[in-house]
């Protein structure tokens, strides 16, 4: 049995053709799967009964409820979602006033092994299909209140570009969830050529994890720098002339006495020259066994001021959910046994 959930309209059309369903069926199935959130085929009442039976013989809907939930003192929620035979992924819901940001995962673990990231420590355990990515939204109990979606959970989205792009299509298409692409942000270390596809095939915001303006130093933080230099990613973003409603965000974690000096801020400003972007400074959430430490608030503010003096909009991300390990870089299912207690 295969999952129907996560298929794009084009994929549903070929499924409909293969199963000899009427031509209008694909659009109706999409409507049931996404806008209407159907739980079974029997409920797809405007489809001929024979069509429903043929679908049910080969497919399941493929939605799955979270297996576990944790709530932080600050209101941040963390869900554990099943991801097929590859295990589980974590998804966070981060409240901020009226906003509710859903932070979703694209892989079980990650192969990029960034020095400061708990998911990187876990290693790579499998890809999520588009259905498993979308399910983190569709089956999220807070779904109705979600205002923004960031692909900043476990995994490197551009190491899984087909599923990431298909999920973005379903989120934004009129036959899908019909969301504005300005509500969606994909964060990446800058994998190419998949970055080019993200630029061309979607209209969502793009966040690039930079963390140091110096290639050698960045390589010690983000090993992907060796094969995927940030300079090439930044050139590609610059040449794409991303503007209007669409935004580029540069992510930077200032570590104490490592990459938090005024010299770093100046070099970062030089590196980003000519790129329309904002810089988001992320407070480091320390992880066990990592020799790096967060910079102090005064150094953080000075780094921000230096960037602003050089003409950039720089913001400091509020860190939330640390007490339930739902904050940036803390998501990991390494110790997760299905159905077991909390971690
Ligand atoms: N693989 C993608 C998306 C996942 S991480 C990427 O690297 O962009 C989302 C953001 O959280 C990235 O900017 C990442 O560098 C940052 N991050 C990772 N570990 C962190 C930690 N321990 N503390 C704070 N931010 C962290």
For the cut 80, the answer to whether the pLDDT of residue 334 exceeds it is no
Residue 329 CA to ligand 1 centre (angstroms):
5
Q: Which atom from ligand 1 is nearest to the alpha carbon of 285?
A: 23
- Of 45, 61, 88, the residue nearest 1 (C-alpha): 61
Give the whole-angstrom CA distance, residue 83 versus residue 89: 6
Is the CB of residue 45 less than 8 Å from the CB of residue 168?
no
- Phi, psi at residue 102, to the nearest 5°? -95, 125
User: Which residue in the list 53, 58, 90, 239 is annotated as catalytic?
Assistant: 90
Question: What digits encode the pLDDT tens for the residues 287-299?
Answer: 999 999 999 999 9
Correct CATH for 68-324 of 3.40.250.10, 2.40.30.10, 3.90.1170.50, 3.20.20.70: 3.20.20.70
Q: How many angstroms does the Cα of residue 116 sit away from the middle of ligand 1?
A: 8
Torsion 228-131-127-150 (CA) sign: positive
User: Taking residues 170-197, what's their average pLDDT?
Assistant: 98
Q: Tokens 């036959």 label which residue?
A: 175
328 included as an active-site residue: yes
The C-alpha atoms of residue 199 and residue 67 are separated, in whole angstroms, by 34
Backbone phi, psi, residue 209, to 5°: -85, 110
Q: What is the mean pLDDT of residues 156-168?
A: 98
* Predicted confidence (pLDDT) per residue in 249-282, tens digit: 999 999 999 999 999 999 999 999 999 999 999 9
pLDDT at 269: 98
How many Å apart are CA 311 and CA 305, to the nearest integer?
Answer: 10
What is the architecture, at CATH level 2, of domain 2-60? Orthogonal Bundle (1.10)
The Cα angle at residue 167 between residues 162 and 171, in degrees rounded to 5? 150
Tell me the pLDDT band of 39, cut-offs 50, 70 and 90: confident
DSSP class of 36: S
Which tokens go with 286?
Answer: 């320390």
Judge whether residue 323 has pLDDT over 50: yes
Q: What is the mean pLDDT of residues 183-197?
A: 98
Residue range 91-149, pLDDT digits in tens: 999 999 999 999 999 999 999 999 999 999 999 999 999 999 999 999 999 999 999 99
Question: Is 3 near ligand 1, meaning CB less than 6 Å away?
Answer: no
Mean pLDDT of the chain: 94
| Closest residue by CA, ligand 1 atom 4 | 152
- Residue 343 confidence (pLDDT): 35
Ligand 1, atom 15: nearest CA belongs to which residue? Answer: 209
Residue nearest (by alpha carbon) to ligand 1 atom 17: 329
Instruction: Examine the pLDDT at 155 and tell me if it is beyond 70.
Output: yes
CA distances from 326 to 154, 186, 322 (A): 11, 18, 6
* 290 catalytic per annotation: no
In angstroms, the CA 13 to CA 91 distance is 30
Sorted by sequence, the CB contacts under 8 Å of residue 63 that are 6+ apart come out as 5, 39, 135, 138, 139
Q: What is the mean pLDDT of residues 49-72?
A: 94
Q: Is the confidence at residue 340, as pLDDT, over 60?
A: no
In sequence order, the 6+-apart residues with CB closer than 8 A to the CB of 17 are: none
DSSP structure string for 240-254? TT--TT--EEEEE-P
Is residue 339 pLDDT above 70, yes or no? no
Mean pLDDT of 23-44: 93
8 alpha carbon – ligand 1 mean position (Å)? 29
Q: Ligand 1 mean position to 152 CA, how many Å?
A: 7
Full-model pTM: 0.96
Please state at what angle helix 161-172 crosses helix 194-201, rounded to 10 degrees: 10
Flag whether pLDDT at 342 surpasses 60. Answer: no
To which H or E segment does residue 88 belong? strand 88-96
Whether pLDDT at 190 is above 80: yes
Query: What is the model's pLDDT at position 335?
Result: 67
- Whether the CB-CB separation of 290 and 116 falls below 8 Å is answered with yes
Q: How far apart are CA 135 and CA 62, in angstroms?
A: 8
Query: 208 CB less than 6 Å from ligand 1?
Result: no
- Write down the domain spans for the chain: 2-60, 68-324
Average pLDDT over residues 300-325: 94
pLDDT for 338 equals 52
CA-wise closest residue to 119 among 110, 127, 128: 110
CB distance 282 to ligand 1 below 6 Å:
yes
Element (H, E) at 306: helix 297-309
- A 10 A CB-CB count for 57 gives 10
């Amino acid at each position: 049995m295969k999952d129907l959930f996560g298929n794009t309209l084009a994929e549903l059309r070929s499924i409909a053709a293969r199963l000899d369903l009427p031509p209008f069926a694909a659009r109706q199935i999409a409507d049931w799967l996404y806008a209407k959130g159907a739980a079974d085929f029997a409920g797809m009442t405007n489809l001929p009964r024979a069509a429903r039976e043929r679908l049910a013989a080969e497919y399941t809907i493929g939605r799955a409820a979270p297996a576990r939930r944790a709530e932080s003192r600050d209101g941040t929620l963390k869900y554990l979602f099943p991801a097929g035979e590859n295990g589980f992924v974590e998804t966070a819901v981060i409240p901020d006033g009226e906003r509710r940001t859903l932070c979703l995962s694209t892989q079980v673990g990650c192969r990029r092994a960034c020095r400061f990231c708990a998911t990187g420590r876990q290693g790579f355990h499998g890809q999520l299909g588009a259905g498993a990515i979308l399910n983190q939204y569709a089956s999220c109990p807070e779904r109705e209140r979600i205002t923004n979606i960031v692909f900043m959970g476990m995994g490197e989205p551009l190491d899984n570009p087909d599923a990431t792009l298909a999920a973005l299509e379903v989120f934004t298409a009129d036959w899908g969830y019909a969301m504005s692409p300005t509500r969606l942000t994909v964060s990446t270390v800058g994998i190419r050529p998949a970055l080019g596809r993200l630029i061309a095939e979607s209209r969502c915001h793009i966040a690039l994890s930079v963390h140091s303006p110096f290639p050698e130093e960045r390589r010690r933080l983000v090993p992907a720098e060796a094969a995927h230099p940030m300079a090439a990613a930044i050139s590609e973003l610059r040449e794409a002339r991303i503007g209007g409603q669409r935004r580029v965000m540069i992510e930077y974690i200032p570590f104490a006495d490592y990459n938090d000096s005024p010299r770093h801020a100046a070099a970062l400003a030089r590196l980003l020259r000519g790129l329309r972007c904002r810089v988001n400074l992320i407070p480091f959430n320390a992880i066990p066994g990592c020799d790096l430490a967060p910079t102090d608030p005064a150094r953080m503010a000075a780094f921000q001021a230096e960037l602003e003096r050089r003409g950039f909009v720089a913001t400091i991300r509020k860190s939330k959910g640390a007490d339930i390990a739902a904050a940036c870089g803390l998501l990991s299912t390494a110790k997760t046994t299905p159905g077991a207690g909390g971690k």
